[in-house]
Copies of this chain bind each other. A is one copy, B any other.
Amino acid sequence: MIDPIVVEIVRGGLVESRHRGAIAVVDAGGKKIFTAGDVANLVFPRSAVKPFQALPLAESGAAEKFGLSDDELALCCASHNGEPAHVRGVERILTKAGFDASALACGTHWPASQSAAMALARAGAAPSALHNNCSGKHAGFLCVARAMQFDPSGYWRPDHAVQQRVHAVLEDLTGVTLPPDRRAIDGCSVPTWALPLENLALAFARFGSGRGFAPERAAAAARLLAACVREPWYVAGSGRFCTEIMQLLGAQALVKTGAEGVMCAALPALALGVAIKCDDGAGRAAEALMAATLARLLTLDDRQRAALGRFAQPKIRNWNDIETGELRVCLEFDGLAGR
């Protein structure tokens, strides 16, 4: 099956580029509400499953033991921009659990936010592992190790007790077995597991609703979900899609991006999960398609509808701020009635 064209890039009225992809909208019972493309295809969810990777943090009592606040829990689920308050938040988490930045194994990169990166350079400073977009997730792993009295060294390795707990969580949420030959290494060195796109959507439906979970897992998921939708700036940052969509929609959606064109959402009140993978790894197309999908699924006020419309059809402007084109979602949502 060849995935359909989901988003076109238009310039001067002509199609300049086109993105193919697949999307699954699944309810917490596993029923497919809407699909396009090959939703049985294996995808690496990458950072989209950070909220699931944080479940051991909330379930183990580590989050409570170290008194993690909403913004700190949101950082543990984040692909953050490396802005100053993100960095300070990750430092606080580490301090609470008795670590410092040297314990982080995520590697170092300049802040994803260009203005944060430039400010850092202007101050004559260099980035540390704290600026890595995954540093909050790694701080959460270290909290789990400390609270459960595991040796924290090598906490990122597949055979470490922390990653084994994460692996069990992923198998439970997605309903699929994840053997070693489905495992690859993520950008921050922890395992990422290939799984069918439809099961990724199912996992988001279950995470958002808690349906089918043991009580402790349901409570942990609800705690993380609440933290993310209350503190969406800590899940990504200034100007970022996930943050702006969650600021717009409040408790209606948890939205989480992953590298290589992955974009997922949990819609708690509807007990639905959405998973998108652009075949070519394009985040721009995944964002536009997610905005168009949310506009179909959710009950919105006029302001929310107009804003989602802008995210679904963003204008392209050049260095002189002249409008040169736009993105256009061209997937037909046949059979997916507005709610």
Contact = CB atoms under 8 A, between A and B. Distances in A.
A319 B12 contact: no
Interface in A313-339: 318-322, 324-325
Nearest to A280: B280
Interface stretch (A64-72, A77-85, A107-115, A237-245): A107-115
Interface in A266-302: 278-282, 285
Contacts of A36: none
Given A189-B318, A260-B17, A110 B118 contact: yes
A320 B105 contact: yes
A16 B181 contact: no
A215 interface: no
B12 A325 contact: no
Copies assembled: 2
Question: Which of A121, A189, A260, A278 gathers the greatest number of chain B CB atoms within 10 Å?
Answer: A121
Nearest to A185: B324
Nearest to A125: B122
A305 interface: no
B184 A325 contact: yes
Contacts of A181: 13
Contact of A261 (B14, B17, B182, B322): B17
B11 A44 contact: yes
Interface in A144-199: 181-189, 192, 194
A240 B278 CA distance: 26
Contacts of A119: 121
Nearest to A108: B319
Interface string A249-274: 00000000000110000000000000
A109 to B, nearest CB: 5
16 contacts: A12-B194, A16-B43, A16-B184, A17-B260, A17-B281, A20-B20, A105-B320, A110-B114, A184-B324, A185-B318, A187-B318, A187-B324, A189-B319, A189-B322, A280-B282, A282-B282
